[in-house]
Structure 1
Amino acid sequence: MTRRKIQIKKIDNTTARQVTFSKRRRGLFKKAQELSTLCDAEIALVVFSATGKLFEYTSSSVQQVIERHGLLSSNFDKLNQPSLDLQLESSTSAALSKEIAENTHELRKLMGEELQELNMKELQELEKLLGSGLKRVRDAKGEIVLKEITSLKWKGSLLMQENKQLKQMANQQIQTLELELEQVQSSEPIGDFIHSDPSQDHDSSGTSLKLGLAFPNGI
């Protein structure tokens, strides 16, 4: 025999309602116990009857489960509500995005783009601004060129001084070499430069030979 489904609504009969409450409560607690055992879940059930009587079931401690529930609920609320830091970061990000967009628009106007929406006064102000900027660029360029010219003049002066010093050193070396050469020439003996006439030496030797040969013939 199949069980007849009952309509889920409040039971008007007090006795029947109390009997149903007892049966369903025990079944509910039994299912909670099975769930805790099978799945190692931490469960706490708190039930008040129609007469105000308390019934409870817990796998560990009702107070511990309630405190854990309160802690998680508090953290969940904090996660759902953006913190003040996040709000400030969001506000700062929006302001920076707006500033970037404005600066980008101004830069495009300085580059000669998106000028159609400007009136005559705005164009004149832009022209004046560009003129002032161009003057500052030229002044900065002139300062850089002047610095480079000054640096080149200073380097040229150093090179001239080094060249002058090298010439002086070369002249000193030349003078030293000339003095040494003069000293060498003056120290040589005078006799080395005086030589007898070879023809006279030949004649004299010939005469002596003749005299030597004639002397024995006379004897």
Structure 2
Amino acid sequence: MVRGKVEMKRIENATSRQVTFSKRRNGLLKKAYELSVLCDAEVAVIIFSQKGRLYEFASSEMPRIVERYRKCARDAKNNTKFDRQLQLQQSRVEAESINKKMELLQLSHRKLLGYGLDSCSLDELQVLDAQLQRSLFQIRARKAQLYKEQLQQLQEKERLLSEEKKKLSLKVTAHGAAAMHGCRRSPTSVVNTQLSI
């Protein structure tokens, strides 16, 4: 016979609840025992009934297992607290480092713009000059590249317009020749055409 799925809610009937508690408690304690034997695990189960009666199983001494559990719980709590403090300290160090880098970048930017140079030594000014020369070289190289690209585009446009002009000139020449050919009839044919009218 197949059992139906049990709905997980409190059993209202007191007798049924007591029977279920007894059966399931025994099943749970049996499974704890099997787990300890099969897997060589230290297992402790503590159960209090609704009336406050204590049921327990321990694969070794219960107080020793409970003390071990408390120690592990304390260590985990302390480790979590230590980890949080360590993370907070690392975040502070990173924030200070980023702030210092930002200040240095802002100072360098101001100097590159020509402000705050009074406090610079000759060596610092030479470094700034070299940086500006490199920047200027890169700017000029990019500018020359853009000019070259624009020149190539304009030359290509000029070539296309030149080809279009040639095509139009050929069309005009052909059209003019056809018009001229139509106007070149002999004068006698014109006279004969007029007399026949």
The TM-score range, normalised by the shorter chain, is: 0.5 to 0.7
Q: CA shift at 1:13, angstroms?
A: 2.0
In structure 2, the CA distance between the partners of 1:68 and 1:129, relative to structure 1 (3 Å rule), is same
- In the other structure, the counterpart of 1:104 is 105
Q: Which amino acid aligns with 1:37?
A: V
Residues 172-211 of structure 1: pairs in structure 2 closer than 5 A? none
- In the other structure, the counterpart of 1:52 is 52
Distance 1:32 1:77 in 2: 27
In structure 2, the CA distance between the partners of 1:20 and 1:85, relative to structure 1 (3 Å rule), is closer
- In the other structure, the counterpart of 1:213 is none
The 3-state SS of whatever aligns with 1:78 is helix
CA deviations on 1:79-125 (whole Å, 9 max, x unpaired) are: 32335455334323321221122113323443x2xx3xxxxxxx5x5
- In the other structure, the counterpart of 2:15 is 15
Q: Which amino acid aligns with 2:66?
A: I
Q: Which amino acid aligns with 1:100?
A: K
Q: CA shift at 1:7, angstroms?
A: 3.2
Aligned length: 125
- In the other structure, the counterpart of 2:94 is 93
Distance 1:136 1:104 in 2: 15
Distance 2:101 2:4 in 1: 72
- In the other structure, the counterpart of 1:77 is 77
- In the other structure, the counterpart of 2:34 is 34
Q: Which amino acid aligns with 2:19?
A: V
Q: Which amino acid aligns with 1:88?
A: Q
- Structure 1 regions of 5+ residues with no counterpart? 116-122, 138-219
- Structure 2 regions of 5+ residues with no counterpart? 126-197
Q: Which amino acid aligns with 2:116?
A: L
Q: TM-score, normalised by structure 1?
A: 0.48
Distance 1:136 1:98 in 2: 22
Root-mean-square deviation (CA, aligned residues, Å) is 2.8
Q: CA shift at 1:15, angstroms?
A: 2.0
Q: Which moved more, 1:89-98 or 1:43-52?
A: 89-98
The 3-state SS of whatever aligns with 2:99 is helix
Q: CA shift at 1:4, angstroms?
A: 4.0
Q: Which amino acid aligns with 2:56?
A: E
CA deviations on 1:134-186 (whole Å, 9 max, x unpaired) are: 3999xxxxxxxxxxxxxxxxxxxxxxxxxxxxxxxxxxxxxxxxxxxxxxxxx
Q: CA shift at 1:58, angstroms?
A: 0.9
Q: Which amino acid aligns with 1:63?
A: P
